Structure 1
Amino acid sequence: MEASFSLAAAKGINLSAELVSFVKEKPVPRDHNFLSFNSAYKYRSLHCGQTNGFCRKNKCVTVFCSQKREFSVVEGRCIDDIYDDLARRLLPTAAAASDPDLKYIVGLAGPPGAGKTTIASEVVQRLNKLWPQKASSMDSQVNPADVAAVLPMDGFHLYRSQLDSMENPEEAHARRGAPWTFNPQLLLTCLKTLRSQGSVYAPSFDHGVGDPVEDDIFVGLQHKVVIVEGNYLLLDDGVWKEISSIFDEKWFVEIDIDKSMERVLKRHISTGKPPDVAKWRIEYNDRPNAELIMKSKKNADLLIRSVDF
């Protein structure tokens, strides 16, 4: 059987030539791909009970099979390899999207401190650098530097004035960052517009002011791949479930919660919060949010195992 891996079996998106993959004869209910990369060059087959795969020196792709789940694991140490491989796996998608109105939208979720913003930014930068190699002979009307874009969920926070008008404003501000302190309906409308019209203006978030900035981000017709990053994109209830259904791929950054909370604690302190206040916020708000988010990783197509930056 020809080896040609798909990121999600049902979608048939090919992994880059740098990685081995597998064509499955029958689709499976959930195809998880765990990523954490290391450099390698030589493949060998792996067979162990119900485990099949290929290993290229230190880089391994292992497929674990069961009646309910099939997933792949790529293990390694270097965060730059993660960025490079994620960009290369999206490059064929960008190359195939010759219709400028066609968008390939990736939802990237994970708990606070997992590195979502950095991953999205680095992958988009790398994809934009790789694109000229393909674009010159395929689509002269596309700006090679702008084939991919990031759309953060942060801009869809509720305004502070909206929190002030809630029944318990003090609690609302203390829990800012919880799902109910966002406007998912506005995000859904934004993504539907992007899907149907090919372009959209979206809000950013001004951390200095603490409020969204309307129409501050523009995703244009030339952007073939859009990575939407945010905590709650893969939740499976209410409007969040509708949001999740829009994505062509669903990525989740998997990280130990204690490690992610250490990162968030440092972030709080670096922005001026006293250590005791920062620790209180972690326990009262950030950790409960992270525990909820971790439950949504079951809805992902691709699990990215966090590596220290």
Structure 2
Amino acid sequence: MPETLALTPQQALSRLVPHILEMESAAGGQRIAIGIAGGPGAGKSTLAAELVTMLNAVKPGSAALVPMDGFHMKHAKIEAMGEVDRKGAPHTFEGAAFVSFLHHLKHATAPVSGPGYSRKIEDTVADAFTVAPDVRVLVVEGNYLLLTQGPWAGVKALLDYTVFIHVPRDLVRARLLRRHGEEGLFTEERNRAHVERNDLPNYDLVDQSREGADVVFALEVER
């Protein structure tokens, strides 16, 4: 079982940065990948982005953010599958493509561009980010980094250190309702139904994967 630490987001970052810098220094010029995992609404994206900023403040250009969300299946494909109600579940991602991309990224010596996900259009966007050749730390964030089912089982071996972010389920529900409502694409009733039917079951599934992490941060956050 990984160690579980109750920390504020700032304390978590203060703990991670020196550890990752030490790992990077010991890697002898090879790229390392740091996994930030956790359920939807846990705050992974924010923490991962801040981690990249802090690492680059110490060593400019040394770290890059690699989001898993860009590997959602295209919305049209999910529609054709009849799985729109389950969008965001593990089987609605291109998991094998994500594993292949990570493997390529860890060994690449040229610039590599990757896809992102836009909540404004609820779909993926090609070439949303580019990892420069000089980058030595890949900060990989996503829900399913520690799953052992299907293609996701190939992710963990590509990560040199993994952090699981845990926040309470009721807080996640409130965050997700707010997030879905921000873009105004759907009704409040639809958003509430989607959170209960899809997002929270995904949260529960992901929470079961926390034992695969090197450390668990139970984030102490304001409600």
Instruction: Tell me the TM-score normalized by structure 2.
Output: 0.92
Q: Which residue of 2 aligns with 1:233?
A: 145
Q: Which residue of 1 aligns with 2:129?
A: 217
Residue deviations 1:119-174 (CA, integer Å, cap 9, x gap): 1011111111123xxxxxxxxxxxxx2111110011000001211322xx2xx111
Larger Cα Rg: Structure 1 or Structure 2? 1
Stretches of structure 2 that go unaligned for 5 or more consecutive residues are: none
Residue deviations 1:66-118 (CA, integer Å, cap 9, x gap): xxxxxxxxxxxx4222222211221112233452xx11101111111100001
1:157 aligns with 2:72: yes
Q: Which residue of 2 aligns with 1:282?
A: 195
1:192 paired residue among 84, 97, 103 = 103
Residue deviations 1:164-188 (CA, integer Å, cap 9, x gap): 322xx2xx11111001110011101
C-alpha distance in 2 between matches for 1:206 and 1:264: 15
Instruction: Work out the number of aligned pairs and report it.
Output: 220
Residue deviations 1:262-300 (CA, integer Å, cap 9, x gap): 111111222224332221111111111111111111111
Say if 1:79 and 1:197 are closer, same or farther in 2 by CA, change over 3 A.
closer
- Name the aligned partner's letter for residue 216 of structure 2: L
What aligned pairs does 1:127-206 form with structure 2 within 5 A after superposition? 127-131=55-59, 145-166=60-81, 169=82, 172-198=83-109, 200-206=112-118
Seq. identity, %: 32
- Name the aligned partner's letter for residue 180 of structure 1: H
C-alpha distance in 1 between matches for 2:37 and 2:46: 12
Q: Which residue of 1 aligns with 2:36?
A: 108
1:306 paired residue among 191, 194, 219 = 219
2:3 paired residue among 6, 27, 33 = 33
Deviation of the 1:249 alpha carbon? 1.0
C-alpha distance in 1 between matches for 2:86 and 2:204: 14
Residue deviations 1:24-43 (CA, integer Å, cap 9, x gap): xxxxxx5x132334xxxxxx
Deviation of the 1:223 alpha carbon? 1.1
Instruction: Tell me the TM-score normalized by structure 1.
Output: 0.67
Say if 1:161 and 1:192 are closer, same or farther in 2 by CA, change over 3 A.
same
Say if 1:269 and 1:164 are closer, same or farther in 2 by CA, change over 3 A.
closer
What is the DSSP-based 3-state SS (H/G/I as helix, E as strand, rest coil) of the residue aligned with 1:201?
strand
Assess if the C-alpha contact under 8 Å between 1:153 and 1:228 holds in 2: yes
C-alpha distance in 2 between matches for 1:262 and 1:198: 42
Assess if the C-alpha contact under 8 Å between 2:31 and 2:107 holds in 1: no
Hey, which bits of structure 1, 4+ residues long, moved more than 3 A? Answer: none
What is the DSSP-based 3-state SS (H/G/I as helix, E as strand, rest coil) of the residue aligned with 2:172?
helix
Assess if the C-alpha contact under 8 Å between 2:37 and 2:163 holds in 1: yes
1:295 paired residue among 208, 218, 221 = 208
Q: Which residue of 2 aligns with 1:267?
A: 179
